[in-house]
Structure 1
Amino acid sequence: MAVRLWISAAPNWGYGAPQRMLNRMVRLNLHSVARLATTTTTTTTITPRAREEAGAAAAIPFEPMLYHLRPVPEEFQQALACNVANAFAAAARTEPGATAQDTQMRICGRVTSVRAMGKHLYFSDLEDHSGRIQVMCSKRHLDEVSQQRLLHRHDHIEVFGSPGKTKTGEPTLKAQLVRVIAPCQAQLPDHIEDKEKQVRERHIYLNTVDNDLRQTLKMRNQVLSTIREFFALRDFVEVETPILSAQSGGAIARPFITRANALQADLHLRIAPELYLKRLVIGGLHRVFEIGKVFRNEVNKVYADPGNAGPVLRRACQELHLERMELFINGAELCNAYQELNDPAEQRRRFEAQHRERQQGNDELPLPDEDFCQALEAGLPPTVGWGLGVDRVIMVLSGKPHIRDVLAFPILAPKQATSQDGC
């Protein structure tokens, strides 16, 4: 299963447009996207005393219903709700040892470390989507529920307090009230060596170990946003084409087949949206694109980095003078662009040739699609189109060797089965 970007455009776009578009997209936001790949974080540790206290507290049974979000106490209702980055910035503006007593803030996040200073004072690092900040609190600042077990790593907590700095100059939120809003009730590891376990327990892997994966997923989001922005500025219309249909087409691949009980018929998951996008161009929607998943029932490939080869473009004139362009980076094909066939008679001839080969045992070839041939008879203007492997783009930008490294939840074989490539 892969995410691909498919585009079709009518005559005024020009035959050289796919290559020009790709060049512009690469220039458009490559630096801002790649910047996310270089984000680094610091690692914190737990003191022996904190480990001892956490171990003792772990024996106390949880009452999960006590940890739902509760009303804000009256004395903190004027506190400014903000993210960790805002709190850090406010704390950074204070002097060492000082506290902005006239400023009350409320932040929520995940505890990444806990450090005890004496019997009653605790320092913890709190993290949310925007960053990380140190929180200082004493045991009396914990609400009565939280006092039963103190704080654990990976707890989600709510903190009310004032920004300031410690005497050593560390920006800190000095807590006046700390409440656990979602306790961590599992013993989470510091590291997961097994690659398959990293994927199966992705919620743990993301939460505790792999900030790099989180940054990769953020990069993925920015790449998709950039693609959409690029086409919106050029008057393209984003569309959705059927994921399930009576037959698959538009590419050469073995489809997944499922049963529609309501229709009492088999349906195919799409292997490409190409034929539907061409129908839209025929219907007068001359600039369309789709970002979506395609499903191909084939052996999953590992796109390993073969070396530091630069981009390679290949152009070939096929029969009927079709133009084609492919983009390869580091040995991985990222883009396949072509001028579309718009002759219904030639399309039928090719479908028939594929059908004869299919009858001889090549079940990856699609069945003839007469509905599409009839659509071509209405007239497909000279059109160019290309498909971009978004997953592979993320692999190149992030330097990841395997496609599973850029997906939040890649497909795995069932636990009782084994897989040669682990994905």
Structure 2
Amino acid sequence: MSDQMALRRDKVAALRAEGIDPHPPVWPVTHSLAEVRAEWADLDDGAETGDEVTVAGRLVARRGQGKLAFGALRDDGTEVQLFVQVNALGEDGMATFTDVVDVGDWLGVVGEVMVTRRGELSIRPRELVVLGKALRPLPDQYYGLADVETRSRQRELDLVVNADTRRVFAKRAAILRALRDEMVDRGFVEVETPMLHPIPGGATARPFVTHHNTLDSDLYLRIAPELYLKRLVVGGMSRVFELNRSFRNEGMSPRHNPEFTMLESYQAYGDHEDGMELAEGLVRRAAEAVGTLAITYPDRFADPVVVEESDAATDEQSPLRDVSLERPFARVTMLDLVRTATGLDVSYDDVEELRGVCNLNEVAWEPDWGAGRLVNGLFEELVEETLWDPVFVTEYPVEISPLARRHRSKDHVTERFELFVVGREFANGFSELTDPDDQRDRFEAQAAAREAGDDEAMFVDEPYLRAMEHGMPPTVGLGLGVDRLVMLLTGATSIRDVILFPTLRPETPTS
């Protein structure tokens, strides 16, 4: 690496000695490479158009020298061949292309659009300018960039050499557009709420803490925008949503990144049934945006299959399993799922029985857990990862749902749901608690849990309670995990692969 970088720095010095800036400030283009491919797509082999374009891109391949050489220019995922002839570019220009330019350099090109006799759409340069000299060589184009850590840490290189990575993030952009379009089509207004909160709220999670010097007060990176969005509903904005970045100071895993993207929405006059219908519509709209409602996803619970990568190397991968997002999503209560998993007719009325069922199934529990948390513990350990096809799990216990409305006809549970697909949670929603006195009681129960050592429990949010006391209409809320949805629709098995720059351990300094 040091030798190659030294050689490239020598080339930079040579350019400057000739009065050439290797990093010029501007290069006005007339066409993108994608526009060149689109506009001149139907030329015959050997055609010479006489049409001149000014383009730019990174040189990602080069071969040949002397009187004829070839290059591959890439910009924004599109490649066009450079057909470099000395009689068009001149002796000096040819020497620059073959001796000074390196693979990885950004180039500006002025030349004629033509097609080679072998049918390759090309540009024949008459002028070639170095726009950005690459001092470090790119990874080998053939072998790509396979190391997961390097791909996540140096995403810019991953995007250069791995076409699959570029496709994933193109799909992510399409998914975000589809989610926005679906919300706008349904009459929702997109809003922005604070990312720095005086009180962490809207979810049970450990926050990141920072300090504002001028105010001399601690602030928290938001763990959810929920309470601010519901204050907007109180103010008369009946349908609001936010595509937001939230932060949780918790562990990392293939499904968790401390910084993540959610879509959160609130709809006045609706209930949990409306929330499930919205969630299903959003997932379908996103799937249609990337091509199909019938997808496959790696089944991490099945026996792995051996994949031969080369004559000398093999790899084990999870087999693909079908997932249909087309048919109506199933709806099952949490308690019914636990009953099926345990084979027992458990209920919320007998805490001792639930403790015994937990012990029988080796599910850990704490002495201060009520029936709701015990049932949820059984669900998480015995059921959650078995839910492959889309299913709404409904009727979450009051004990673990501090912001949800109590069920209108059943004790112990709320009108809350979560959407599961391929054994993972994708959305959470519920009929909102709109009674300020009930909400205060639940906040105070959460505060007591925090005092007892639960650092994920909520604070009492007085500004939110004050807003509720002005009157809040019936409301349904929904939170959809955008990163996990992108994982599902692109086949990614790690959240790192769908976030451009995921959170990583600090990098060890290198040259």
- Taking structure 2 as the reference length, what is the TM-score of the superposition? 0.65
Question: Which residue is 1:104 aligned to?
Answer: 52
- Return the match for 1:122 from 69, 72, 80: 69
* Alignment size in residue pairs: 355
- Return the match for 1:370 from 462, 466, 469: 462
Distance apart, 1:394 and its partner CA: 0.3
Task: Write the letter of the residue equivalent to 2:63.
Answer: R
Distance apart, 1:341 and its partner CA: 0.1
Distance apart, 1:59 and its partner CA: 7.1
- Return the match for 1:231 from 176, 179, 183: 183
The equivalences for 1:181-200 within 5 A come to: 181-190=131-140, 191-200=144-153
CA distance in 1, matches of 2:483, 2:252: 13
Q: Compare 304-313 and 240-249 and name the one that shifted more.
A: 304-313
Change (3 A) 1:252 1:120: same
Q: Which is bigger in relative contact order (C-alpha 8 A, separation at least 6)?
A: 1
Q: Compare 184-193 and 156-165 and name the one that shifted more.
A: 184-193
Question: Which residue is 2:230 aligned to?
Answer: 278
Distance apart, 1:132 and its partner CA: 1.3
Unpaired segments ≥5 residues, structure 2: 256-297, 302-320, 322-387, 399-405, 408-413
CA distance in 2, matches of 1:381, 1:189: 58
The equivalences for 1:256-335 within 5 A come to: 256-303=208-255, 306=300, 308=321, 309-316=388-395, 318=397, 320-321=406-407, 322-335=414-427
Contact 2:205 2:456 in 1 (8 A): yes
CA distance in 2, matches of 1:86, 1:371: 53
Unpaired segments ≥5 residues, structure 1: 1-53, 418-423
Distance apart, 1:398 and its partner CA: 0.5
- Return the match for 2:487 from 395, 398, 418: 395
Distance apart, 1:248 and its partner CA: 0.5
Task: Write the letter of the residue equivalent to 1:188.
Answer: L
What secondary structure, in the 3-state scheme, does the structure 2 residue paired with 1:395 have?
helix
| RMSD between aligned residues | 2.6
Contact 1:156 1:182 in 2 (8 A): yes
Contact 1:159 1:175 in 2 (8 A): yes
Q: Compare 245-254 and 91-100 and name the one that shifted more.
A: 91-100
Task: Write the letter of the residue equivalent to 1:213.
Answer: T
Question: Which residue is 1:173 aligned to?
Answer: 123
Task: Write the letter of the residue equivalent to 2:57.
Answer: G
Task: Write the letter of the residue equivalent to 1:311.
Answer: P
Aligned-residue identity in percent = 38
Does residue 113 of structure 1 match 2:113? Answer: no
Contact 1:57 1:148 in 2 (8 A): no
Distance apart, 1:193 and its partner CA: 3.6
Distance apart, 1:56 and its partner CA: 11
Change (3 A) 1:253 1:93: same
Deviations, residues 68-118 of structure 1 (Å, cap 9, x unaligned):
44788xxxx9xx8111122234444332222112x11111111111010x5
Change (3 A) 1:148 1:134: closer
Task: Write the letter of the residue equivalent to 2:106.
Answer: H
Distance apart, 1:305 and its partner CA: 5.1
What secondary structure, in the 3-state scheme, does the structure 2 residue paired with 1:230 have?
helix
Distance apart, 1:327 and its partner CA: 1.2
CA distance in 1, matches of 2:53, 2:210: 53
Deviations, residues 10-30 of structure 1 (Å, cap 9, x unaligned):
xxxxxxxxxxxxxxxxxxxxx
Distance apart, 1:372 and its partner CA: 1.2
- Return the match for 2:37 from 88, 92, 95: 88
Task: Write the letter of the residue equivalent to 2:79.
Answer: R
Runs of at least 4 residues of structure 1 off by over 4 A? 54-59, 142-145
Deviations, residues 129-171 of structure 1 (Å, cap 9, x unaligned):
2621111113561766945834321211111111111112221
Change (3 A) 1:210 1:396: same
